[in-house]
Amino acid sequence: MAITLDFSGQTVVVIGGTSGINRGVAESFAQHGAKVAVASRSKDKVNDTVAKLKELGADAMGFCADVRDVEAVKAGLKQVHDAFGDFDCLVSGAAGNFPAMANGMSPNGFKAVVDIDLMGTFHVMQSAFPFLKQPGASVINISAPQAFLPMMAQSHVCAAKAGVDMITRCLSLEWGPLGIRVNSVCPGPIDKTEGMSRLAPTPEIRQRTIDSVPLKRFGLPEDIGNVCLFLASPLASYVSGTIFPVDGAWSQGGCGDMQVGLAKFFE
Ligand code: NAP
Ligand code: COA
């Protein structure tokens, strides 16, 4: 059976799409014909990503915004809408993470992650709403296993990503009647990303992490890209409100080994 995913003529916006997993997602859509827009704080990262997306053959553009600044997000999304039209797919993946035990983190450290991951997701979704194709748009929030599994040194991220998944579920109810689907994707440990360099910073923790994944390997950005292609495609036209782990079954075992290794750092 041949399955072709063709996003020609479609507009895909990836917030936080200028490095790591989300950039991989943006590149996957570019390789499948979409017009792709990316956004993040760094002008250099935005420019570099747009150049790469164009190299892949896509119509591409980008804008700089901090997702904590709702007006900047709104203004950037309007520019994208003016240039590329209604959004067929919105991927919201900007996030911040650092390992720290709750007692070793200031209230502002906790707040920084909640503001980026949770408030940022709300800002992005609410600001994009007027530009989403109705019916037909697919919204994908990039979440994490921390949303549903407690982890040491991750109380801020666990709290924020749990909230992200609740936004996914609530807005799938509110937006479903308009023909807009909303899902979360929860990547497992993805190799060569900022997230993994922070959470598995030593060869020992890296090995513990691989050993704890039932499929016995790190994931790759294209593993997440492939699932986003599926969720944005007609193959997923009845899929909404789901929390979709893409983690080699890592979360089934509780993601325990990485955090135990990490916790030793703070003893
Ligand atoms: P990353 O490369 O650091 O990606 C984060 C992206 O968000 C970058 O484009 C960054 O660009 C942007 N960003 C960060 N703060 C922002 C802000 N305040 N406003 C706007 N943009 C902002 O990290 P990653 O490891 O690939 O993670 C990507 C996503 O996957 C995150 O949602 C993360 O929680 C999730 N995840 C990652 C893993 C993993 O194994 N890495 C596992 C589970 C879930 P600028 O610096 O230019 O702003
Ligand atoms: N341990 C404990 N606290 C930390 C910390 C760490 N490793 N790193 C930052 N913080 C605290 C800071 O001390 C500060 O609190 P304070 O004002 O009480 O001192 C607070 O977090 C905010 O730090 P700041 O550097 O001002 O925030 P920022 O908005 O510039 O950056 C971060 C946000 C901290 C999340 C930063 O790591 C970031 O931009 N990350 C994006 C990339 C990323 O994390 N990728 C991984 C995948 S999600």
Residue 198 makes CB contacts below 8 A (sequence gap 6+) with: 97, 98, 99
Domain 11-194+220-252, what fold?
Answer: Rossmann fold (3.40.50)
Question: What's the confidence (pLDDT) of residue 3?
Answer: 77
Computed over every residue of the chain, the mean pLDDT equals: 97
Cα(15) to ligand 2 centroid in Å equals 19
> Which residue has a Cα nearest atom 22 of ligand 2?
109
> Which residue has a Cα nearest atom 2 of ligand 2?
105
Residues 136-162: tens digit of each pLDDT: 999 999 999 999 999 999 999 999 999
Percent of the chain with pLDDT over 70: 100
Question: What's the confidence (pLDDT) of residue 41?
Answer: 99
d(CA 2, CA 226): 16
- Mean pLDDT for 182-203 is 97
Query: What phi and psi values does residue 41 have, to the nearest 5 degrees?
Result: -75, -35
Cα(105) to ligand 2 centroid in Å equals 10
Beta strand pairing status for 11-15 and 35-40?
parallel
- List the helix and strand counts (H, then E) for the chain: 10, 7
Question: What's the confidence (pLDDT) of residue 208?
Answer: 92
**In the structure, what pLDDT confidence band is assigned to residue 234 with cuts at 50, 70 and 90?**
very high
Question: What's the confidence (pLDDT) of residue 79?
Answer: 98
CB-CB neighbours of 95 under 10 Å: 25
With CA atoms as reference, report the closest residue to 100 among 151, 153, 44, 55.
153
User: Do 243 and 143 contact (CB within 8 A), yes or no?
Assistant: yes
Measured from the Cα of 106, ligand 2's closest atom is 18
Looking at residue 118, the DSSP 8-state letter turns out to be: I
